Amino acid sequence: MTDAGRIAAIEAKAARMRYDIVEMIAEAGSGHPGGSLSAADIVATLYFDVLRHDPTRPDWPERDRFVLSKGHAAPVLYAALAEAGYFGRDHLVTLRKLGSILQGHPDCLKCSGVEVSTGSLGQGLAIANGMALALKLDENPARVFCLLGDGELQEGEVWEAAMFAPHHGLGNVTAIVDHNGLQIDGACDEVMCLGGVAEKFAAFGWEVRETSGHDVEGLLDALTEPPADPAVPVAIIAYTVKGKGVSFMEGDAGWHGKAPSAEQTAAALAELGSLLDAAMTTMTEGGAR
Amino acid sequence: MSEKRATREAYGATLIELANEGVPVVAVDADLSGSTTTAKFGAAYPDRLINVGIAEQNMIGTAAGLAVEGKVAFTGSFAVFATGRAYDQIRNTVCYSNLDVKVAPTHSGITVGPDGGSHQMLEDIALMRVLPGMRVLVPADAVAARGAIRVAATTPGPFYIRLGRAAVPVIYDDDYTFELGRARVLREGSHVTLAACGVMVEQALAAAGQLELEGINAEVIDVSTIKPFDTATLVASALKTGVVVTCEEHSIIGGLGSAVAEALGEHAPVPLARVGVRDVFGTSGEPAELMEHFGLTGADIAEAARAVIGRR
């Protein structure tokens, strides 16, 4: 596949996932669209290119692992897992409903492909580190990718874990920050200033890369380029737009955790449907634009 | 019963034993590996002791990740930090994902001594007992501690093992085996049931000795598993003796006394007295002084027994 074709294929997956995200949250009547949409390109790039995984063997020992530390963005993970084939797409409409494998936040005991349950913020990176440490002990070449929210960086445990990974030489860990700048109560920097996120990770000893979290080519480079020192973990600061893809959700903290009304859903799906059609056309044409 | 050893002494040594046998144990400690004795395990298996520094939340999170990948992850630190400081990590990551993390801190209870109330954990059994899927073990001596650690290591899912700092008499022989979910009748009696856990088993046995001189025949039960709780043994004893005293180096709220009260309330309502710390924090002092100060000695248990017998 040409690079353009490779990128177009990921973009088509991301467009499909965005459509699914809005559709499933609307059906559920609650959920977190903003941070799911902001992470769609990141998660699509991981699941449909970067990660070595096999949906028919979710416990394949050498699979790369993904930990969704920002567990409230469960819909983006479910959309990717369904699209990849971990479970049937018919499950998507059961999101947040009694008896569903798709809990409000990811539950590894219920849902195939979820490595560990998350939802309480700030915990994913420590878990990812422990997984990476075990892989090293077992001389397993698999890698661990952990997606964090930026608001989540206000949790102290994140920095305990940020200190830990370089100290233990966990070059098999990649942390990705979905830096959309918004949290429930408003702008992160107004609620509790994050300061320079890239500088902070660098100061803790990580190799830091910055990219747009909506530029698939940039994400591919950031996610696949080996670190200069194989014992140094990589932190990717991915600058994103909360609610990306739905014009009236973009950049609005109000869409952190609520479902759209019927009219809003129709408008959002019309926009996302157009984006999906365009992405599919581009992909079919081999990525030419 | 002359030899004295702290339950924590069994920790590092038993982990070495398990690793030698091929159990994939790892230990994650938080700058207290010398005190918890996980450092001994680290000396034998340097790659398998992970020090996270003074970061108990990260200790639990890292252990969780190791467990996700198939390791049997024991965690260290002191009981107060390992449970209270990292409660959400234990709840939402370890228990909610049903991981093989064995939370086994040392320095529980007032027998920590001079460090004082900030370091004397009296609410840990209560905190751990309410978590779905969590098993709670409180060994009475170093032999039982070894048994508890072995059972936890070889039984899937989360465990809490409450270990102590102070040297306590060795009660059990080396052929003892820890039985998960089973309370052990150490001394049969017909007038009162003394149900104890941890360091209070020694005190309950002392109380039984005192009561015997007065013609009161006490049954002593070591409730080494608080959860799953051995309702059958406790109810049978309560129906036989008609009165129960619980004995714990823990708050009387939420711990052994509560577990016994819950079981008896549903199955055998009999007069009950709870010997334990009465809804206050600890304080500095030597362990023996503190046992007297907080009313946790054999004499205190005997007094509670006499009083509760009077309520029959």
**Domains contained in chain A, CATH given:** 3-288 (3.40.50.970)
User: Rg of chain A's alpha carbons, rounded to an integer?
Assistant: 18
Percent of chain A with pLDDT over 90: 97
Rounded to an integer, what distance in angstroms lies between the CA atom of residue B176 and that of residue B173?
6
pLDDT in tens, B284-304: 999 999 999 999 999 999 999
Check whether domain B184-309 has CATH 3.30.43.10, yes or no: no
Structure confidence at residue A289 (pLDDT) = 60
Residue of chain B nearest A164, judged by CA positions? B52
Say which of B9, B56, B123, B219 is annotated catalytic. Answer: B56
Model ipTM value = 0.96
Structure confidence at residue A287 (pLDDT) = 80
Rounded to an integer, what distance in angstroms lies between the CA atom of residue A86 and that of residue A105?
17
Q: Which residues of B touch A163 (CB under 8 A)?
A: 53, 55
Best of A164, A170, A173 to disrupt the B interface by mutation (most B CBs within 10 Å)?
A: A164
Give the distance from residue B90's alpha carbon to the nearest chain A alpha carbon, in angstroms: 11
pLDDT in tens, A180-225: 999 999 999 999 999 999 999 999 999 999 999 999 999 999 999 9
* Interchain contact, A127 vs B57, CB within 8 Å: no
Name the CA dihedral angle for A31, A34, A35, A39, rounded to a multiple of 10 degrees. Answer: 120
B251 confidence band (pLDDT: 50, 70, 90): very high
> Which long-range CB contacts under 8 A does A188-193 form with residues at least 24 apart?
A188/A150, A188/A151, A188/A154, A191/A151, A191/A154, A192/A154
Indicate if the pLDDT at residue B123 is higher than 70: yes
Nearest to B109 by CA among B8, B241, B189: B8
Give the distance from residue B102's alpha carbon to the nearest chain A alpha carbon, in angstroms: 15
Across the interface, of B58, B66, B97, the residue whose CB is closest to A134 is B66
* DSSP structural state of residue B84: I
Tell me which amino acid residue A202 is.
A
Residue of chain B nearest A62, judged by CA positions? B69
Rounded to an integer, what distance in angstroms lies between the CA atom of residue A58 and that of residue A243?
30
Other beta carbons less than 10 A from residue A199's beta carbon: 11
Structure confidence at residue B2 (pLDDT) = 65
Q: What is the mean pLDDT of residues A20-27?
A: 98
Residue of chain B nearest A136, judged by CA positions? B47
* Interchain contact, B65 vs A130, CB within 8 Å: yes
Across the interface, of A126, A137, A138, the residue whose CB is closest to B58 is A126
Rounded to an integer, what distance in angstroms lies between the CA atom of residue B94 and that of residue B101?
7
> One fold for both B4-169 and B184-309?
yes
Mean pLDDT of chain B: 97
Q: What is the mean pLDDT of residues B241-249?
A: 98
Contact between B172 and B10 under an 8 Å Cβ cutoff? The reply is: no
Contact between A147 and A68 under an 8 Å Cβ cutoff? The reply is: yes
A286 confidence band (pLDDT: 50, 70, 90): confident
Query: What are the structure tokens assigned to A138, written together?
Result: 């077992």
Give the distance from residue A137's alpha carbon to the nearest chain B alpha carbon, in angstroms: 8
Indicate if the pLDDT at residue B312 is higher than 90: no
Structure confidence at residue A238 (pLDDT) = 98
pLDDT in tens, A83-142: 999 999 999 999 999 999 999 999 999 999 999 999 999 999 999 999 999 999 999 999
Contact between B301 and B275 under an 8 Å Cβ cutoff? The reply is: yes
Active site annotation includes B202: no
Domain edges within chain B: 4-169, 184-309
Across the interface, of B50, B71, B96, the residue whose CB is closest to A117 is B96
SS3 state at B242: coil
Contact between B101 and B73 under an 8 Å Cβ cutoff? The reply is: yes
Contact between B244 and B260 under an 8 Å Cβ cutoff? The reply is: yes
B57 confidence band (pLDDT: 50, 70, 90): very high
Indicate if the pLDDT at residue A1 is higher than 70: no
B186 confidence band (pLDDT: 50, 70, 90): very high
Identify the H or E element spanning A17: helix A3-28
Residue of chain A nearest B64, judged by CA positions? A127
Q: Which residues of B touch A127 (CB under 8 A)?
A: 61-62, 64-65, 68, 93
Structure confidence at residue A141 (pLDDT) = 97
Phi then psi dihedrals of residue B293, to 5 deg: -55, -40
Indicate if the pLDDT at residue B80 is higher than 80: yes
* Interchain contact, A163 vs B61, CB within 8 Å: no
Give the distance from residue A66's alpha carbon to the nearest chain B alpha carbon, in angstroms: 12
Across the interface, of A119, A134, A164, the residue whose CB is closest to B52 is A164
B234 confidence band (pLDDT: 50, 70, 90): very high
* Interchain contact, A126 vs B69, CB within 8 Å: no
Give the distance from residue A47's alpha carbon to the nearest chain B alpha carbon, in angstroms: 20
> What CATH number was assigned to the domain covering residues B4-169?
3.40.50.970
Rounded to an integer, what distance in angstroms lies between the CA atom of residue B157 and that of residue B103?
11
pLDDT in tens, B193-227: 999 999 999 999 999 999 999 999 999 999 999 99
* Interchain contact, B64 vs A130, CB within 8 Å: yes
Strand ranges for chain A from DSSP E: 65-68, 144-149, 173-179, 182-183, 186-187, 207-212, 234-239
Q: Which residues of A touch B50 (CB under 8 A)?
A: 133, 168
Structure confidence at residue A288 (pLDDT) = 67
Strands B218-222 and B192-196 come out as parallel
Strands B159-161 and B135-137 come out as parallel
| Phi-psi group of A186: left, alpha or beta (phi > 0 → left; psi -120 to 50 → alpha; rest → beta) | left
Residue of chain A nearest B47, judged by CA positions? A137
Structure confidence at residue A170 (pLDDT) = 98
Other beta carbons less than 10 A from residue A266's beta carbon: 12
Percent of chain A with pLDDT over 70: 99
Q: Which residues of B touch A115 (CB under 8 A)?
A: 68
Rounded to an integer, what distance in angstroms lies between the CA atom of residue A8 and that of residue A1?
10
Q: What is the mean pLDDT of residues A222-235?
A: 96
